[in-house]
């Protein structure tokens, strides 16, 4: 395990840059992988790990930079190309066809190798499938079983077996296997088995790149660890030199100045509890959630993707029904069956995918603002155009929305201004509790500042806010109080007053 660095270089990426429309997702990333090595990648959400993997497997192409595989220049056009070069990947979202059998999935796309006159020799397929499964020690699965009859963990193992098949086909050539969060749905024993398999692969001289939010796992399995932050590599450690604390420190960024988040404007929450959840749970996602939200409070929720924080928001706003526990709003027990019921009780969520869920792109600014309170602007079911316009003008002024006229279409606005329209609509609906899901995602720095100002103003009005921040820094900086989630449970709660903001490392250590 220790000397892998001395082995032959298998794969290397140099100076990889990736721009999406507005964001600079990868900034000169470096990565070397040697034969027989297991390399761990860690970093916060959005640090660029997934983007990097997608580039390696050929699902995305880098804006600039070079890669080599087996010492040759490597520039895959698609995942198939990557497979031909001995690189395979287990995607976070599973890529099995559930109505087909295990064997059919394992050799999907390779049927011709088993066909005579176009007719597939299934016994031969299943015989080979059995061998592939044996190699990953899950030979107790009948390859003739359909995938939809299997549990999730087994499916994950088959996914891995499918990728390992790349190594079989590579023959003498050494391979690189990419695993993106493979353990998130596995139990402890299943994770152990996965690790055994990974070591087996490495022992044969192949290499594995392992991405996980669970630092203990990364420390357990990898030989070397790369740490990423904001799209750049911030360091590489030999595992023997690494510790969880050390990694946390590398992962989190410097704390931004308090002016940026206008912490001096942070208002003190009122005494009155407006929302209370007790022992709230959603089967398979989260449980034992107890929290209290006060009037005028900004409550930050921190956690990695899959920690359950997004689903809590969905339950709170009525999009999803909880399977246990109860929700009390303004002292009244509620049971939402749809978001509109949530809205009636004064809860509104501003969704993360603004472009998909939040706005109607082909409607005008004024109509978008009026969407959630059309009834208030109507008489006898007929909408009053004058009222719609008046309301829009009010908010355009209040929110400093840059638009030529309230009749301008949403698509003609910048991202930040679109977000402001979404905010206006939320406020126009006169809700008391606002759930902000990544409100600053995809907007530029100037717009971010304005959004922070808005959030502060809204809180000062006495409205309660639940905030899922785009970065940990933002979440801590903006909130009065922070709760930390991991694997569906609340793992910690911090006061985050003007003068006693928790450190990012403290928070991260409870997240991962």
Residues engaged in binding another protein (CB under 8 A): 78-80, 94-95, 97-100, 104, 108-112, 115, 118-120, 122, 148-149, 151-153, 185-188, 216, 283-288, 320, 375, 379-382, 486-489, 491
CB-wise, 89 or 227, nearer to another protein?
Answer: 89
SS3 label, residue 9:
strand
CA distance 465 to 267: 12
We find the least distance from the C-beta atom of residue 379 to another protein, in angstroms, to be 8
CA distance 105 to 95: 9
CB-wise, 351 or 488, nearer to another protein?
Answer: 488
We find the least distance from the C-beta atom of residue 152 to another protein, in angstroms, to be 5
CB-wise, 236 or 374, nearer to another protein?
Answer: 374
We find the least distance from the C-beta atom of residue 113 to another protein, in angstroms, to be 10
Cβ within 8 Å of residue 82, ≥6 positions away:
56, 57, 58, 76, 88, 89
Read off the tokens for 112: 């011709």
We find the least distance from the C-beta atom of residue 300 to another protein, in angstroms, to be 20
We find the least distance from the C-beta atom of residue 450 to another protein, in angstroms, to be 34
CB-wise, 284 or 446, nearer to another protein?
Answer: 284
CB-wise, 167 or 480, nearer to another protein?
Answer: 167
- H-assigned helices in 234-378: 244-251, 309-317, 339-344, 365-370
CB-wise, 40 or 88, nearer to another protein?
Answer: 88
CB-wise, 115 or 412, nearer to another protein?
Answer: 115
We find the least distance from the C-beta atom of residue 159 to another protein, in angstroms, to be 12
Strands (E), 123-187: 176-180
Kindly list the distances between the CA atom of residue 130 and the CA atoms of 115, 124, 155, in Å, as whole numbers in the listed order: 18, 10, 15
We find the least distance from the C-beta atom of residue 187 to another protein, in angstroms, to be 5
CA distance 463 to 467: 13
Contact indicator for 483, 299 with CB cutoff of 8 Å: yes
How many CB atoms sit inside 10 A of residue 157's CB? Answer: 24
CB-wise, 302 or 478, nearer to another protein?
Answer: 302
We find the least distance from the C-beta atom of residue 505 to another protein, in angstroms, to be 16
Dump the DSSP string for 439-454: TTTT--HHHHHHHHHH
CB-wise, 273 or 489, nearer to another protein?
Answer: 489
We find the least distance from the C-beta atom of residue 285 to another protein, in angstroms, to be 7
CB-wise, 163 or 413, nearer to another protein?
Answer: 163
We find the least distance from the C-beta atom of residue 38 to another protein, in angstroms, to be 22
SS3 label, residue 365:
helix
CB-wise, 32 or 487, nearer to another protein?
Answer: 487
CA distance 508 to 512: 6
- Kindly list the strands in the beta sheet with 273-282, ordered across the sheet, starting from the edge strand earlier in the chain: 286-294, 273-282, 324-329, 332-334
Dump the DSSP string for 89-111: EE-SS----TTSBHHHHHTTT-G
We find the least distance from the C-beta atom of residue 151 to another protein, in angstroms, to be 5
Q: Select from 481, 417, 478 the least CA-distant residue to 453.
A: 478
**Mutual angle of helices 504-511 and 244-251, in 10-degree steps:** 120
Contact indicator for 150, 158 with CB cutoff of 8 Å: yes
Strands (E), 303-421: 324-329, 332-334, 347-350, 378-379, 382-383
């Amino acid at each position: 395990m220790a000397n892998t660095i001395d082995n032959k270089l298998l794969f290397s990426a140099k100076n990889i840059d990736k721009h999406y429309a507005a964001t600079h997702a990868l900034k000169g990333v470096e990565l070397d992988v040697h034969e027989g090595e297991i390399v761990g990648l860690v970093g916060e959400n959005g640090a660029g790990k997934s983007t990097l993997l997608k580039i390696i497997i050929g699902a995305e192409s880098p804006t600039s930079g070079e890669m080599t595989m087996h010492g040759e220049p490597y520039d895959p056009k698609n995942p198939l190309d990557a497979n031909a070069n001995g690189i395979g990947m287990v995607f976070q979202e599973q890529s099995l066809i559930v109505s087909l059998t295990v064997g059919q999935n394992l050799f999907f796309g390779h049927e011709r190798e088993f066909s005579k006159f176009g007719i597939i020799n299934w016994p031969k397929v299943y015989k080979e499938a059995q061998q592939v499964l044996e190699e990953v020690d899950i030979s107790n699965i009948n390859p003739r079983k359909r995938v939809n009859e299997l549990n999730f963990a087994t499916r994950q193992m088959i996914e891995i077996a499918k990728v390992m098949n790349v190594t079989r086909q590579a023959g003498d050539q050494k391979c690189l296997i990419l695993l993106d969060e493979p353990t998130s749905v596995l139990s402890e024993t299943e994770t152990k088995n996965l690790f055994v398999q990974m070591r087996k692969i490495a022992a044969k001289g192949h290499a594995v790149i392992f991405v996980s939010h669970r630092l203990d796992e990364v420390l357990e399995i990898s030989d070397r660890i790369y740490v990423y932050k904001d799209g750049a590599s911030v360091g590489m450690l030999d595992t023997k030199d690494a510790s969880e604390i050390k990694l946390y420190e590398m992962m989190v960024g410097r704390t931004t100045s308090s002016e940026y988040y206008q912490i001096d404007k942070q208002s003190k929450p009122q005494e009155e509890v407006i929302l209370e959840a007790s022992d709230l749970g959603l089967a398979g996602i989260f449980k034992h959630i107890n929290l209290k939200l006060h009037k005028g409070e900004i409550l930050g929720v921190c956690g990695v993707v899959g920690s359950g924080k997004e689903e809590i928001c969905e339950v709170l706003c009525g999009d999803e029904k909880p399977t246990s526990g109860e929700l009390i709003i303004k002292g009244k027990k509620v049971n939402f069956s749809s978001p509109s019921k949530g809205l009636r009780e004064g809860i509104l969520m501003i969704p993360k995918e603004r472009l998909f869920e939040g706005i109607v792109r082909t409607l005008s600014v004024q109509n978008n603002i009026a969407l959630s309170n059309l009834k208030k602007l109507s008489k006898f079911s007929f909408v009053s155009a004058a009222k719609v316009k008046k309301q829009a003008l009010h908010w355009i002024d209040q929110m400093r929305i840059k638009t030529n006229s309230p009749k301008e279409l949403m698509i003609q606005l910048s991202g930040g201004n679109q977000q402001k329209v979404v905010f206006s609509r939320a406020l126009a609906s006169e809700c008391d509790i606002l759930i902000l899901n990544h409100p600053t995602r995809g907007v530029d720095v100037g717009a971010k500042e304005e959004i922070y100002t808005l959030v502060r103003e809204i809180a000062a009005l006495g409205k309660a806010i639940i905030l899922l921040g785009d970065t940990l820094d933002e979440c801590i900086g903006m909130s009065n109080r922070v709760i930390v989630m991991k694997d569906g449970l609340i793992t910690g709660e911090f006061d985050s007053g003007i003068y006693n903001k928790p450190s990012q490392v403290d928070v991260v250590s409870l997240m991962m």
